[in-house]
Chain A
Amino acid sequence: MLKYLYSNGSSLSAGGGLYELGNKIEYKKLYNVTWENEKDVTYPKYVSDYFNLNLIHDAECGSGAPRLVRRTYEHIEKIGLSEAKKTLFIFEITDPIHRIDMFCKKIDDHVIVNARYDDNANIENLSVVYSYSPTNRNYSNDIFVGEVEADVQQYLTKYHDPVVYSNKFCGELVGLFSFMEKMGLSFFYMFENEFLRNPYKEFYDDLDEKHKIFIDDDCTSSSHFCLKNKLTIKDELNGFTGDTHPGYFGYKKFSEVVISNILRRIS
């Protein structure tokens, strides 16, 4: 009997953009919908409500596969195997290339480092945050501006290769899924793109039947689904913002896809 839903992923699951005050005001104005915590209007919340499960919403804007792998193991270790067996895990997986998981002694916790590279693989810009969302933030991101960002940028320039870093997580991700499969845990996943799947294509082909969230032929994630169905924040707010994250109605509609995938596999 399932009791919990554990969700991990990026801004596409965390309600990216829906924490922006301007967007919230515009939604109120256009649709008379309001929320305090943007995670309350994302698909994991609707899915957990539908199945009457306690939600552990661990998705974060800027997060990628490295944080997802680490946090999922931590969560299983924390709650133990018997509780993990009562948990439905939903993963939305994005590439590690711009999403580095790093420990920062200044806060004695991990931070999300988002790096953008130019054509020569040099870091063009970089941000270090605990959380992009003002709602779910324990530390002000200002504390990372300056020294921390400079340290991290300098270090990454000399001791980090984005391609090597990304390749490392192809293995770590199949390790996580193999572990969960071996332990008999219930999990579903969706990939934003094929990069992490490709080296282990046939491994995933085997796993997909049980664990992949099938959306449609063109879409593999909430982002694709909302772009295709014109349900991004930008679409829903009629161009008020350029933000193409899933919108309020996009998440609602997308949750129906996730729910039907789960219903089909779990009776």
Chain B
Amino acid sequence: MKWFKYDTLYVNGSSLTAGGGLGNSDIKEEYKKLYNLEWTDEKNVTYPKYVADYFGLKLIHKALCGSGAPRLVRETYEYIINEGIDKAKKTIFLLEITDPIHRVDVYCNQINDYVIANVRYDNDYSYDSKISSIQIQRAVTKHGDIYESEYFEGKISDEIKDYLNKYHNPVAYTEKYYGEVAGLLSFMKQLDLTFFYMFNEHTLKNVVSFFYNDIKNHEIRIDGHNCINQFAGINKLTIKDELNGASSDLHPGYFGNKQFSEKLIPALEKLLKPKVIAFGDSHTQSFLEMCNSKMSWAVDYVNYIKEIPKNYIQNISEHFDNLEIDNYGRGGISNQTIFDTFISNKHNINPKDILIFGWTTESRFRISNESNSFVDIIPFSAHPKQNDDVSKITTDEIAVNKLTYNVWWTEIMNYIKIIEDLFPNNLIYHWTWVNNKTQWSNRLWSEEMLNDKHIIVVKDDFNQYEVNYREIILDNAEILYDFSKNINDYNIHEDFKKTNKIIIINFNESNHQHLNYLTKNNLKVRYLTPTDYKKTCYEKFIPYKKYNTIYEETNGAVDDLHTSRTGHQELAKDLLMYIESDIKQGNNKKNVKISLL
């Protein structure tokens, strides 16, 4: 699974996940007798192990018999803190959450670690209930020291029981975890970690149901069952069932765990597998759709090569074992429509999804037709005019303006900023087929500027400007002042008697006297900036490359400049290089660093 960005499966939960019962020697003997099955560590025959093996993940199996929400919350925070956010982002968290009522998390100084105290009450739902029995579970400390349950019997369990009888209330203890579990899951959501939860009971969910309604897509339900014990119980896959009553243990059995994992794996795969969501114009829309809509160039090309080629989105999907595709590419649309399409469909985007934007030429734009709907204008083409009030000359003139001044590329930069702000955790890629060369207008003066005696001021360091642009500026100046040089004698009012084309360069380097000159003399000024907005915008794209066209591939037999089959393969290859590298790095865009002091 090349799309898979995880390396670890972290699991926490109770005996239902820890293989409760499957570690008992009499039960193991019975499985050997009946099914010829053997295992040393019961965790190796639990559903988390099968999940980890399927996805090739390192398994951190922290589920323990007797454990409940308190230990789960504490240990999950500890894991995130100790491993750090980068590692946590490469981890899938699978949390099986049980009520805290009989599962008290107690620190024990004698072993310098926490122990699980399983308590039974004479009445679970009363503030006055007394503890009828207590068992401290076998503990493995963080240093690897093992303390069997018997170690705690007597003094320690008596002391804990005595304390809990006086200073612990099962109802109040449970109530504390309504918030604590929601808090942990909120935190994981905030960090955009990949987590899934199952609740064994609904006690902890009900009070804050408004929260769980909000994070439903993290809940695991298999065949409608909210937890493995329900699944095993209903499907007669408990230890008791599998051993034909030789044991009364109702924990999920060997086959219960296996079958549960077989259902869980595809469910997880579906939840984890990204979609490729693409926005763009005809270079992004599939060839099949183009042919279906009878685009002549597409039909001619398909007839020529005698197949419907895959476009770059399909190539990318295929590379990642056929990822689902949402392709919103549509021939002839403008960048405004591309962005609009994104806005209209953003609710379908999940953080795991890969977004690809193929931006089009800046010369396209929209007007309204007579039906009060937007239509995209493809200028300088044989298309009919789209609104009787707007002549072809007008749309062509607007297009010339858009092609002449690269400030129009700031529109795309702003779209990109919004997209990235809305989806900070997605893998997002931008590209365009539009040539990356910037054109500068040769004409800096308008009639109005000349009539009103404007001067052009180049504030910044003139050497920052592209050579072509510098030449254009020099060509447009009949009188040029370089304020970085020591000029003492000038009179712009006098100069205006000779010409109206006066340009000042390196204005920001001028001394105070020069700066005041313009204000004191009430001169009208137009400022130029050196920014090549197109170049800046292309820095947001994958590096520009001219991909093979249909014309080139067919040696001119099909006279069309759309990206060819080969071009789509090249483009897919380039995008895949970035996607795979980001998957490998875990796409840790938020980069929140945490560490325990």
- B-binding residues in A (CB < 8 A): 69-70, 72-74, 76-77, 81, 102-106, 108, 110, 151-152, 155, 157-161, 164-165, 167-168, 170-172, 174-176, 178-179, 181-183, 195, 198-203, 206
Q: What's the least CB distance linking B430 to chain A, in Å?
A: 25
CB pair B183–A152 under 8 Å, yes or no, is: no
Q: What's the least CB distance linking B69 to chain A, in Å?
A: 12
CB pair A171–B166 under 8 Å, yes or no, is: no
| A174 CA to B178 CA, complexed, in Å | 15
CB pair B592–A203 under 8 Å, yes or no, is: yes
- Nearest A-chain residue to B208, judged by Cβ: A77
Q: What's the least CB distance linking A173 to chain B, in Å?
A: 9
- 20 additional A-B pairs beyond A105-B127, A158-B109, A182-B214, beta carbons within 8 Å, are A69-B183, A73-B178, A77-B208, A103-B167, A151-B167, A152-B167, A158-B108, A159-B160, A168-B74, A168-B77, A171-B73, A171-B187, A178-B183, A182-B190, A183-B210, A183-B211, A200-B592, A201-B593, A202-B592, A203-B191
CB pair B208–A175 under 8 Å, yes or no, is: no
CB pair A179–B186 under 8 Å, yes or no, is: yes
15 A-B pairs whose Cβ atoms sit less than 8 Å apart in the complex? A72-B179, A73-B176, A77-B179, A103-B173, A105-B165, A105-B166, A105-B167, A105-B168, A157-B109, A159-B107, A172-B77, A175-B77, A175-B180, A181-B186, A203-B594
- Nearest B-chain residue to A181, judged by Cβ: B190
CB pair A174–B107 under 8 Å, yes or no, is: no
- Nearest A-chain residue to B113, judged by Cβ: A164
- Hey, which chain B residues are within 8 Å of A179, CB to CB? 179, 182-183, 186-187, 211
| A203 CA to B189 CA, complexed, in Å | 13
Q: Is the interface of A mostly helix, strand, loop or mixed?
A: helix
CB pair A151–B175 under 8 Å, yes or no, is: no
Q: What's the least CB distance linking B136 to chain A, in Å?
A: 11
CB pair B594–A202 under 8 Å, yes or no, is: yes
Point out which of B127, B160, B190, B595 has the most chain A C-beta atoms below 10 A from its C-beta.
B190
- Hey, which chain B residues are within 8 Å of A165, CB to CB? 107
Q: Given A159-B160, A175-B184 in contact, is the A201-B594 Cβ separation under 8 Å? A: yes
| A108 CA to B171 CA, complexed, in Å | 11
- Nearest A-chain residue to B155, judged by Cβ: A158
Q: What's the least CB distance linking A158 to chain B, in Å?
A: 5
B1 within 8 A of A: no
| A198 CA to B596 CA, complexed, in Å | 8
Chain B count of residues within 8 A CB distance of the other chain = 49
CB pair B207–A77 under 8 Å, yes or no, is: yes
| A110 CA to B167 CA, complexed, in Å | 9
A-facing residues in B43-76 (Cβ within 8 Å):
73-74
CB pair A171–B107 under 8 Å, yes or no, is: no
- Hey, which chain A residues are within 8 Å of B163, CB to CB? 151, 155, 159
| A206 CA to B572 CA, complexed, in Å | 36
- Hey, which chain B residues are within 8 Å of A175, CB to CB? 73, 77, 180, 182-184, 186-187
CB pair B173–A182 under 8 Å, yes or no, is: no
| A89 CA to B453 CA, complexed, in Å | 60
B597 within 8 A of A: yes
CB pair B78–A171 under 8 Å, yes or no, is: yes
Point out which of B159, B165, B179, B184 has the most chain A C-beta atoms below 10 A from its C-beta.
B179
CB pair B180–A159 under 8 Å, yes or no, is: no
| A172 CA to B208 CA, complexed, in Å | 17
B169 within 8 A of A: yes
Q: What's the least CB distance linking B237 to chain A, in Å?
A: 35
| A174 CA to B594 CA, complexed, in Å | 11
B81 within 8 A of A: yes
| A171 CA to B79 CA, complexed, in Å | 11
Q: Given A198-B597, A203-B594 in contact, is the A103-B190 Cβ separation under 8 Å? A: no
B371 within 8 A of A: no
- Nearest B-chain residue to A111, judged by Cβ: B167
- Hey, which chain B residues are within 8 Å of A167, CB to CB? 596
CB pair B596–A170 under 8 Å, yes or no, is: yes
Q: What's the least CB distance linking B132 to chain A, in Å?
A: 16
| A169 CA to B106 CA, complexed, in Å | 15
CB pair B186–A178 under 8 Å, yes or no, is: yes
Q: Given A106-B166, A170-B81 in contact, is the A161-B189 Cβ separation under 8 Å? A: no
- Hey, which chain A residues are within 8 Å of B182, CB to CB? 73, 175, 179
- Nearest B-chain residue to A104, judged by Cβ: B167
| A103 CA to B595 CA, complexed, in Å | 31
Q: What's the least CB distance linking B9 to chain A, in Å?
A: 21
- Hey, which chain B residues are within 8 Å of A164, CB to CB? 107
- Nearest B-chain residue to A101, judged by Cβ: B176
A-facing residues in B88-123 (Cβ within 8 Å):
106-110, 112
| A192 CA to B312 CA, complexed, in Å | 56
- Hey, which chain A residues are within 8 Å of B173, CB to CB? 103
- Hey, which chain A residues are within 8 Å of B73, CB to CB? 171-172, 175
- Nearest B-chain residue to A113, judged by Cβ: B167
- Nearest B-chain residue to A77, judged by Cβ: B207
Q: What's the least CB distance linking B144 to chain A, in Å?
A: 18
CB pair A158–B186 under 8 Å, yes or no, is: no
Q: Given A159-B160, A199-B595, A199-B597 in contact, is the A74-B169 Cβ separation under 8 Å? A: no
| A233 CA to B591 CA, complexed, in Å | 44
CB pair B183–A176 under 8 Å, yes or no, is: yes
CB pair B180–A172 under 8 Å, yes or no, is: yes
B172 within 8 A of A: yes
| A99 CA to B597 CA, complexed, in Å | 20
